[in-house]
């Protein structure tokens, strides 16, 4: 598939570049800057973007890339560190800025004389000065996002200066002949004026990318690949009912029908209604081979007396694998395991130096395939979460599956602070169900990344009727986020908060106080444990 390749030099914005390109229907992949030339050249390249990064090119261990990429004959765009690298490569001078430039700045683009823009040598006095193709359709002055400590002081050989800001004289450059462009600012960040347009110009006018990529572009190819690989084997899928495993299972089912065996482990730590929805959607609607393994008592007995978050997670992870393995052994001729791995899971595991480097999640049951000796099928591994939703929609999957909030593998156990008992699970389930119903009723379900209740081991005094009560506390946590990496608490309408609070206190026995969590991530996490 034609693509623009993003080489990652460790910037916190690298993934954003990819998101922006895909928003423009341009397929792209991210590889670490250290990737071999052979691998880079093996891609169907229409262009390459060199990302920013936290280093200075003069640092001893600064990330480098094979400079032969400049001879591959594809257009190149350097962003921030990428620009400094290009300048260094072409004998410009990069220096430490007098002051670190961080935040918005006003970029003034220079008009190139038309002969430069037209690429010819002759003077054309009657023609209006033109701009670089990179800035076509963009006003002369725009607001850009800067975040850099170094800057280009002396122009690299063969390049023209395209723009400047009050603090940075050389803020965008091009060498039209070599098809190399560079920006000191970050066009990929959300609040940059015309950032998307600049990336679009690069993709369409410079790289001449003509395709119209969509998350479903892979579908036919993926289905054909799965068919070819699986042959007569059986395929196992740990179906949690979440967006990723559900979409992955539907794709694999399209490829191999009832050779797919789905296992849903009921840990007893699921939300009210989760199991019933699994039955309704996957048994009744899709008629999958779905085994619901009820292991709730086993999980409960293992969690007895355990209050440490880390131990809870370990016990649940281990027990999950045990139950899953036992069930999968009953499936004859199993050779493959479906996983709903997403693109960020793969990018994160790429080790690039710098602060944004590997943020390894503790989230997924990664031990499964190794132990079970099964080959992996990962039909979503080049997609971002919202793209999986788009793909699910093109497969006509129910919205209630596609638009549900993420739910952690260890389930309600990490939302019950302290001991996990059947009684406390039931209290939390009831409160959580009410909260979710009210959020839906108010039309806030899709405005929120995640909404859930946490049961605290804190009792407080209240008055109910004429009597004093001494009961538990529920914390309500609602957050907005793009990817779960950072999050802000949702500013719910007071009316909705009030409804959630009054309904839970009056309908859930054992709760007499509701508090709302108003911390962002960082410094807090989304879950409480
Ligand atoms: P935190 O709490 O780390 O969560 O801010 C970020 C996102 O990850 C989810 N999460 C998990 N998902 N297994 C999962 O599949 C887990 O063990 C797990 N722990 C946290 C969390 O709900 C949020 O969406």
Q: How far apart are CA 83 and CA 92, in angstroms?
A: 10
CA angle 321, 326, 331 (to 5 degrees): 120
The predicted pLDDT at position 360 comes to 36
Of 89, 174, 188, 387, the active-site residue reads 188
List, in sequence order, the alpha helices (H) in 259-342: 274-278, 296-303, 309-329
The percent of residues in the chain predicted with pLDDT above 90, rounded, is: 83
Range list of H helices, 133-273: 195-200, 219-230, 243-256
Whether 141 is a known active-site residue: answer no
CA dist 519 and 489 (Å) reads 6
CATH 3.40.710.10 fits 3-206, yes or no: no
- 471-491 tens-digit pLDDT: 999 999 999 998 788 899 999
Residues of the chain with CATH 3.30.300.10: 421-516
- φ, ψ of residue 183 in degrees (nearest 5): -130, 135
CA of 18 to the centre of ligand 1 (A): 23
Selected catalytic residue, list 186, 262, 327, 438: 186
Q: What's the average model confidence in pLDDT over 499-518? A: 98
CA of 192 to the centre of ligand 1 (A): 30
Does 363 contact ligand 1 (Cβ within 6 A)?
Answer: yes
Q: Is the peptide bond before 523 cis (omega within 30 degrees of 0)?
A: yes
**Within 13 Å, how many C-alpha atoms sit on residue 424's CB side?**
25
Average pLDDT over residues 445-474: 95
For the chain, report the end-to-end CA distance as a whole number of angstroms.
42
525 ligand 1 Cβ < 6 A: yes
> Is 360's C-beta closer than 6 angstroms to any atom of ligand 1?
no
CA of 355 to the centre of ligand 1 (A): 21
421-516: CATH topology: GMP Synthetase; Chain A, domain 3 (3.30.300)
pLDDT digits (tens, 9 = 90+) for 98-147: 777 889 999 999 876 544 444 444 444 455 557 899 999 999 999 999 99
pLDDT at 127: 56
Structural fold of domain 234-402: Rossmann fold (3.40.50)
- pLDDT by residue (tens digit) across 353-364? 333 334 333 444
Q: What is the pTM of this model?
A: 0.87
**What pLDDT sits at residue 140?**
94
Task: Reply yes or no on whether 190 is catalytic.
Answer: no
Burial of 187 (0-12, 13-18, 19+ CB in 10 A): buried
Task: Determine which residue's CA is closest to atom 20 belonging to ligand 1.
Answer: 408
Question: 188 an active-site residue?
Answer: yes
Question: Which candidate in 28, 33, 80, 207 is catalytic?
Answer: 80
Q: Ligand 1 center to residue 143 CA distance, Å?
A: 36
Q: Which of 7-16, 391-400, 476-485 reaches the highest mean pLDDT?
A: 391-400
Cβ–ligand 1 contact at 187 (below 6 Å): no
Pocket of ligand 1 contains residue 354 by CB under 6 Å: no
151 alpha carbon – ligand 1 mean position (Å) = 39
pLDDT value at position 368? 64
* 25-34, 229-238, 319-328, 358-367, range with the lowest pLDDT: 358-367
Three-state helix/strand/coil letters over 99-138: EEEEEEEEEEECCECHHHHHCCCCCCCCCCCECCHHHCCC
Q: Where do the CATH 3.40.50.880 domains begin and end in the chain?
A: 3-206
């Amino acid at each position: 598939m034609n693509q623009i390749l993003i080489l990652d030099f460790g910037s916190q914005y690298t993934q954003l570049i990819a998101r922006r390109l895909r928003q423009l229907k341009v397929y792209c992949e991210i590889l670490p800057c250290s990737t071999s030339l052979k691998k880079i050249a093996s891609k169907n390249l229409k262009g390459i973007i060199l990302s920013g990064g936290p280093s200075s090119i003069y640092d001893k261990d600064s990330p480098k890339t094979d400079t032969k990429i400049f001879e591959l004959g594809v257009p190149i765009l350097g962003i921030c560190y990428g620009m400094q690298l290009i300048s260094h490569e072409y004998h410009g001078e990069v220096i430490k800025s007098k002051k670190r430039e961080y935040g918005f700045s006003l970029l003034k683009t220079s008009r190139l004389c038309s002969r430069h823009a037209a690429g010819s040598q002759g003077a054309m006095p009657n023609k209006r000065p033109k701009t670089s193709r990179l800035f076509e359709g963009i006003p002369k002055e725009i607001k850009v996002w800067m975040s850099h400590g170094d800057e280009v002081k002396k122009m690299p050989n063969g390049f023209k200066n395209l723009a400047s800001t009050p603090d940075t004289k050389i803020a965008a450059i091009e060498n039209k002949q070599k098809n190399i462009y560079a920006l000191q600012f970050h066009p990929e960040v959300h609040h940059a004026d015309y950032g998307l347009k600049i990336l679009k110009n690069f993709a369409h006018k410079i790289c001449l990318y003509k395709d119209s990529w969509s998350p479903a572009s892979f579908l036919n190819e993926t289905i054909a690949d799965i068919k070819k690989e699986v042959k007569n084997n059986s395929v196992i899928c740990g179906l949690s009912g979440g967006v990723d495993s559900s979409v992955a299972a539907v794709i694999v089912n399209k490829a191999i029908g009832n050779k797919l065996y789905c296992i849903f482990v009921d840990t007893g730590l699921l939300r009210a209604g989760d199991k019933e929805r699994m039955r309704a959607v996957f048994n009744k609607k899709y008629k999958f081979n779905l085994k619901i393994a009820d292991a709730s008592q086993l999980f409960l007995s293992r969690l007895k007396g355990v209050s440490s978050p880390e131990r809870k997670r370990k016990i649940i992870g281990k027990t999950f694998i045990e139950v899953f393995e036992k069930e999968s052994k009953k499936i004859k001729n199993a050779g493959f395991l479906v996983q709903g791995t997403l693109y960020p899971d793969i990018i994160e595991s790429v080790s690039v130096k710098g602060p944004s480097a590997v943020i390894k999640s503790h989230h997924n049951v990664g031990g499964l395939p190794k132990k079970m000796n099964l080959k992996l099928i990962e039909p979503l591994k080049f997609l971002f979460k919202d793209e999986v939703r788009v793909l699910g929609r093109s497969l006509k999957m129910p919205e209630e599956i596609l638009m549900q909030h993420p739910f952690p593998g260890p389930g309600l156990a990490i939302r019950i602070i302290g001991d996990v008992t059947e009684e406390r699970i039931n209290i939390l389930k009831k409160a959580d169900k009410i909260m979710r119903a009210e959020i839906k009723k108010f039309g806030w379900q899709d405005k929120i990344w995640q909404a859930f209740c946490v049961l605290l081991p804190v009792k407080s005094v209240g008055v109910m009727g004429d009597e004093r009560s001494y009961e538990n506390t529920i914390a309500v946590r609602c957050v907005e986020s793009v990817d779960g990496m950072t999050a802000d608490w949702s500013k719910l309408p007071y009316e909705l908060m009030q409804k959630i609070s009054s309904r839970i206190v009056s309908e859930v026995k054992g709760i007499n106080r509701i508090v709302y969590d108003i911390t962002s991530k960082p410094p807090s996490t989304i879950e409480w444990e």
